[in-house]
A and B are shown apart, each in its own frame.
Chain A
Amino acid sequence: MNIPKDLKYTKTHEWIRYQPGRAIVGVTDYAQHEISDIVFVELPKVGQEVSQGKAICVVESVKAAFDIYAPISGTVKAINTALEADPALANREPYGNGWFFELTPSNPSDLELLLASDQYQEFLQQAAHES
């Protein structure tokens, strides 16, 4: 399972690449594998305000729909329109061209609630043991 060191993670399997004033969000390699064939992504709207932990967009596989949650609060600055034409990008390149949206963060302290890569890895291992 690919869990890049330079990203932060949520327990709902989103990743965030955070720089002051700018944050890119997508779903993790684990998430894309669990969802399997991604055939549709309903992205948020540019300018939309989002709150940490709230559902903000939807990913659909052939069989089911999954909510994607905002890892931090902020305003949607850009969306990855390439996903509309080729949703499977999120399967193939979850940390690259398969990114979902970019946020302008409103509250830098939101980051404190996120997991570092080793913590996320540990979280996945725990979840695997419990199931």
Chain B
Amino acid sequence: MQATMVHIKKLPLHEFHQTLGARLGTFGEWEVPLYYSSVIDEHKAVRNRVGIFDISHMGEIYFEGRTARQTLNYLLSAQVDRLVMGKALYSPVCNEKGGIVDDVIVYQLGEESYLVVVNAANIAKDYDWFLSHNLKSAAIQNRSEEIGLLSIQGPNSLDLLKSIFPYPLEQMKYYSVLPGSNPWKNVLIARTGYTGELGYEIFLMKKDLTDAYSVFLEKGKAFGIKPIGFGARDTLRLEACMMLYGQDMNDETTPLEVGLERTVFFDKEFIGRSALIQQKEKGISKKIVGFEMLGHGLARHDYDVTKNGRSIGRVTSGSFSPTLKKNIGLAGVLLEESQMGHEIEIQIRQNQVSAKIVATPFYKKTTTGARP
């Protein structure tokens, strides 16, 4: 018997991150920068100034042709019908049981051209899923290998980008996308992100990544830029209550159970519809809630949640919140134990530590629109 070799993937800018002093760690199959200076410092830089993330591990799958729109409307639970050119839509992709195959953002780039951005760990799974449910023969192309993605997030992100791109970026609305070819060829600027802050995601050809990253860093100095690792990416998204696939949701959980009912449009045919209708009629038995620790301790993924000694669910994400300076988390708990203000306990090693269910998001920037 031979041991299975786990192939660790590296970002195209791997060496560049090392020269910036990145502390490396693994995220799924990827070796990525966890932090450069400190998770907390980087977190604050994004909340107060601006940060740059290399998220080139994310997948880019294009849908093109006359049937692209129809195909996406069948594959995604959200209302793709309402998507217009230059806009983006967040949506789960469901299986027949209503379980979440992935959560994606679809950008409409042209009359018959759509870009679907998928989670890195799911690129192969999603691509296979799309191809095997491509009933109307849309042209589906996985371009994850050739496209890189940089994310510029923080209140100073707009001013920084305006100093680089000759486009009217101030007119861009949340969840919109703008194609460009200056200063790099085939660049897409999207006003999306995973931080709860004003921010942009820049799609580039991989060969332009090093140059672009260097320019953002150099021009960003005047705006207080910092390179941001995956540690702060996680604390930022958790404060904003944006869910992480594989942790807060998976193939076994449905959009209704993780608070994503707003992304399910029942008045159309799509994969998972009948299961979700059934679940909606019957009612869900568990749901995701936000909590903050009252007692001393940090909740982590998969810790048991109890009430009076009875197990009522599991922590899906947990961390220290650098903005709130509290320990917070998300947990999937039984519906009858999910009411706001309810006190629960988190099993931390040998101790049951008290926590309280609170409103989410934990952090909300008033100038940023809510995720649709």
> Is there a chain A Cβ closer than 8 Å to B39's Cβ?
yes
A65–B235 CA distance with the chains assembled, in angstroms: 16
B234 smallest CB distance to A (angstroms): 8
Q: B235, A62: Cβ atoms under 8 Å?
A: yes
B192 smallest CB distance to A (angstroms): 24
Closest to B39 in A: A62
> Is there a chain B Cβ closer than 8 Å to A113's Cβ?
no
Q: A36, B23: Cβ atoms under 8 Å?
A: yes
How many B residues touch A, CB cutoff 8 Å? 19
> Is there a chain B Cβ closer than 8 Å to A18's Cβ?
no
How many A residues touch B, CB cutoff 8 Å? 12
Q: B327 is contacted by which of A37, A40, A58 (Cβ under 8 Å)?
A: A40
> Is there a chain A Cβ closer than 8 Å to B40's Cβ?
yes
> Is there a chain B Cβ closer than 8 Å to A39's Cβ?
yes
Q: A63, B297: Cβ atoms under 8 Å?
A: no
Q: A36, B320: Cβ atoms under 8 Å?
A: no
Set of chain B residues within 8 Å of A62, measured between Cβ atoms: 39-40, 231, 235, 319-320, 322
The main secondary structure of chain A at its interface with chain B is strand
Q: Mark A56-83, 1 if CB is under 8 A from B, else 0.
A: 0010111101000000000000000000
Q: A36 is contacted by which of B35, B296, B319, B349 (Cβ under 8 Å)?
A: B35
B292 smallest CB distance to A (angstroms): 14
Q: Which of A37, A40, A61 has the most CB of B within 10 A?
A: A37
12 further A-B pairs in the complex, CB-CB below 8 A; given A42-B349, A62-B322, A84-B296: A36-B39, A37-B38, A37-B39, A37-B40, A39-B298, A40-B297, A40-B327, A42-B297, A61-B39, A63-B25, A63-B231, A65-B298
